[in-house]
Amino acid sequence: MTFQEFNFNEHLNEGILSMGYNTPTPIQEMAIPIVLEGKDLIACAQTGTGKTASYLLPVLHKIAEAGEGHKITALILAPTRELAQQIDQQVEGLAYFTGLSSIAVYGGGDGIVYEQQRRGIQNKVDILIATPGRLIAHLTSGVLKLDHIKYLILDEADRMLDMGFMGDIMRIIRDIPVQRQTLLFSATMPGPIRKLANSILRNPEQVNLATSQPAEGINQQLYKVHNEQKSKLVTFLLKNGNYTSTIIFANTKDEVKRLNRELRAAHIKVSAFHSDFEQNEREKILLDFKNRDLPVIIGTDALSRGIDVEGIDLVINYDVPSDPEDYIHRIGRTARAETTGTAITLVNERDNRKLKTIEQLIGKEITENILPAELGEAPVFRDRKPSDGRNRNRNNFKKRKNPGNKGSAASA
């Protein structure tokens, strides 16, 4: 199947071609016809499956075909500013030839940013992409009215509920027309999400795309370590592995900052990514990472949901995530768009129970590698048997060098 078979608006088709889209992904092939028919939709699909285009394309088509003039007819809610910005960028690319416009509204920054968003809203855009908190601020100020909304999309609904946005979402929904088409996208479908769907959707169609499973192209590995060996092992992997683009996940902001200092001291070009940075600093870090000017970035789980960069070849779980679903989201940053990648998790004895929960979720044991001899003895987990092939990566690192990961530290 090709995108041409959807019979999209001719100007939208130009945008699709210019973006290099040819064949729809499974979620796009299943979801687009449902949206075009005007039905409400619950779509359960993990990140990296092409879900954003699966709702943007049919909504853009319907707005372009209606030709009602510039007014906000589509509202997309997203949990983080990074995801809101990425959706906005996709709208800009796909809608380039249609004359349709969008704006991303999110928190952070100073009063100047708020004022820029306020003016942008008043310019009568077609699509509004927003984080819930900042959207309510604009609604409360009276500058924003949502009377013409025909399409409501909740992207990463599970993450929005995890972040405590349920009240904000319901407050926003009270301000938009009851007669609308509602689309809910979520990587997981726990009870609270189903309760939300039941309250805001009408007779929805459902699409479920094998959630809670990592992409086949991800080579999952682990090392058993003592806490004091973690930073040394990460340094070893980055200096000796042939990786050009790496994300490291830690569980806390303090851990992110500490690891960033230690890797910089080891002359690895790296930057932390956390909420202490100003918005323009965070955008600069992500842009440098996307452009391959910054080979290594460190963040918490907020980064796992908010970054959409192709070509990431290594994900390191410095800490094992408490929620096994977060493991899926973290390692899903690599092996996107049918590419391959490596995910390495560092496990101390305290985190062994978390590891077992993850392996139960994904339905297999993660391959265990032997700790490099120069880092000392690894801990022994009494209730874990070594996997076959646990030795296979031990000597590979000494044969491969990546000078690009060395040098002066990147400015943050």
Handedness of CA 352, 354, 360, 361 (dihedral sign): negative
CATH number, domain of 145, equals 3.40.50.300
Asked whether residue 96 is assigned to any structural domain, the reply reads yes
Within a domain: 412:
no
Residue whose structure tokens are 């973290």: 330
Q: Same domain, yes or no, for 297 and 195? A: no
Within this chain, do residues 381 and 335 fall inside the same structural domain, yes or no? yes
* Co-location of 16 and 90 in the same domain: yes
How far is Cα 100 from Cα 68, in angstroms, rounded to an integer?
11
Same domain membership, residue 229 and residue 200: no
φ, ψ for residue 245 (rounded to 5)?
-145, 115
Domain holding 32, by residue range, is 3-208
| pLDDT tens for each residue of 222-257 | 999 999 999 999 999 999 998 999 999 998 889 999
User: For residue 301, is it within any domain?
Assistant: yes
SS3 239: helix
DSSP reduced 3-state for 102: strand
Considering the domain architecture, whether residues 177 and 266 belong to the same structural domain is answered as no
Residues 36 and 181 reside in one and the same domain: yes
- Pick from 326, 264, 322: nearest CA to 298: 264
- Full-model pTM: 0.62
Picking from 158, 184, 208, the residue at the C-terminal end of a domain is 208
Same domain, 288 and 235: yes
- Are the beta carbons of 1 and 24 closer than 8 angstroms? yes
- Whether residue 332 lies inside any domain: the answer is yes
Q: Label residue 266 exposed, middle or buried (CB < 10 Å: 0-12, 13-18, 19+).
A: middle
Question: 182 has which bridge partners?
Answer: 152
Of 190, 208, 226, the last residue of a domain is 208
**Overall domain count for the chain:** 2
Q: Which residues have CB under 8 Å from 382's CB, separation 6+?
A: none
Is 411 within a domain? Answer: no
Q: How far apart are the first and last CA of the chain?
A: 44
Tell me whether residue 298 is in a domain: yes
Cα–Cα separations (whole angstroms), residue 73 to 142, 174, 245, 300: 18, 16, 38, 34
Rounded to whole angstroms, the Cα distance separating 186 from 379 reads 38
pLDDT digits (tens), the chain, 412 positions: 899 999 999 999 999 998 888 889 889 999 999 999 999 999 988 666 788 999 999 999 999 999 877 789 999 999 988 889 889 999 999 999 999 999 999 987 667 777 888 888 877 789 999 999 999 999 998 888 899 999 999 999 988 988 889 999 999 999 999 999 999 998 877 788 889 999 999 999 999 875 556 777 899 999 999 999 999 999 999 999 989 999 999 988 899 999 999 999 999 999 998 878 877 788 889 889 989 999 999 998 777 655 667 789 999 999 998 877 778 878 988 876 667 899 999 999 889 888 988 888 888 899 999 999 999 999 988 665 544 444 444 434 443 334 344 333 333 3
Same domain, 131 and 165: yes
Q: Quick one: pLDDT at residue 48? A: 66
* Whether residue 23 is found in the same domain as residue 133: yes
204 & 225 share domain:
no
SS3 377: coil
Residue 28 burial by Cβ neighbours in a 10 Å radius (0-12, 13-18, 19+): buried
Residues 135 and 80 in one domain: yes
End of a domain among 150, 182, 208?
Answer: 208
Establish if 410 belongs to a structural domain: no
- Could you give the CA distance from residue 256 to residue 298 in angstroms, rounded to a whole number? 6
Q: How would you label 61-90 residue by residue, b for 16+ Cβ within 10 Å and e otherwise?
A: bbbbeeeeeeebbbbbbbbbbbbbbbbbeb
Residue in the block written with tokens 């997203």: 78
Question: 69: number of CA atoms within 13 Å, CB side?
Answer: 3
* Domain match, 10 and 38 both: yes
